[in-house]
Amino acid sequence: MSQEDPQADFWRGRRVFITGCTGFLGSWLTAALLERGAEVVGLVRLREPESQLVRTGLISRIEQVSGELLDYHLLRRTLVECRIDTVFHLAGQTIVGVANREPVETFETNIRGTWLLLEAARQTPSVRGIVVASSEKAYGEQLDLPYREEYPLQGRHPYEVSKSCADLIAQSFAHTYGQAIAVTRCSNLYGGGDLNWNRLIPGTIRSVLSGQRPIIRSDGSFRRDYLYVADAVLGYLMLAEHLTEPAVRGQPFNLGSGCPVSALELVQTIVAISGRPELEPIILNEVKHEIQDEYLSPQKASEAVGWRQQYSLARGLEEAMAWYRAYLN
């Protein structure tokens, strides 16, 4: 982690519970908390051998709780017995295509799983606060860009709806019961450890490192906001440190660059960094149920806790490519 959190000592000795700790973002966040001296308890549904947390061996430094997010009694027992101070709720079904094929499973995990965890935390006196991972997808399609936190949440398709609902449920618990909860709405995260090759950045990097032409499933014009995972981790930590403050408590926050690029521009940047200019992308133009343009205003997080993006897109992609090059070799 190349960024320094000015309140790093805040975490020393704190008991932290993370759902989704073995996921892409969860692995990075767990590593950052361990580096800062936190005592991490992680909910582990499946021990994926390719998880960054497993591959680095850091999973051996956390207390692992095996089980499901939908097991309320397990959640409650874990929070109480482990004397948890701060909760990061990252677990969920995160793949849009899977959500379209399996909407019920997505709704169960992303919506019911959220209210079960929040209720377990509400019943646990030691829990100081919770950071809940929502998504820019919670906004649905908006006419005015960039997306701002006061915009209505109007997801239409299963994944978007699941994030809109979980987001509102988290805010409901905060405003009804006085819980110190912050909601994060991140733009598209990227970085080492993301092995979902169907995503544009990992898939493109793997293609160019293999000497193959990258594939763009859309027409290439869709514009998105991309955020390096280290910047997202810093945002999570900073919000968690300020959870009890009025400017943060019960509030949603965008974490994004605010600088959208098209899919074609992104792929061309990756190709340029790889040094393989001959690898022209293949444009399939077959995407359905996708929003044309999505990007976030990060102004609120900047004003509330001083969070700002540290990595430019080029710098983040260079670090990511170095990670994938080592991994694939």
Residue numbers annotated as active site? 159
Q: CB-based contacts of 121: which residues, under 8 Å, 6+ apart?
A: 79, 87, 127, 130, 179
Beta bridge partners of 41: 17, 63
Strand order in the sheet with 39-44: 63-66, 39-44, 15-19, 86-89, 129-133, 181-186, 251-255
Cα Rg of the chain, angstroms: 19
CB 268 within 8 A of CB 261: no
Rounded distance between C-alpha atoms, residue 148 and residue 78, angstroms: 35
Cα angle 210, 214, 219 (rounded to 5 degrees) comes to 175
The values of phi and psi at residue 64, to 5°, are: -95, 135
Chain centroid, CA 63 distance in Å: 22
Three-state SS for 193? coil
Rounded distance between C-alpha atoms, residue 294 and residue 275, angstroms: 29
Rounded distance between C-alpha atoms, residue 316 and residue 320, angstroms: 6
What beta strand segments (E) does the chain contain? 15-19, 39-44, 63-66, 86-89, 129-133, 181-186, 188-190, 215-216, 223-224, 226-228, 251-255, 261-262, 282-283
Q: Which amino acid appears at position 168 of this protein?
A: L
Three-state SS for 103? helix
Which residue, 66, 88, 93, is CA-closest to 77?
66
Rounded distance between C-alpha atoms, residue 132 and residue 113, angstroms: 11
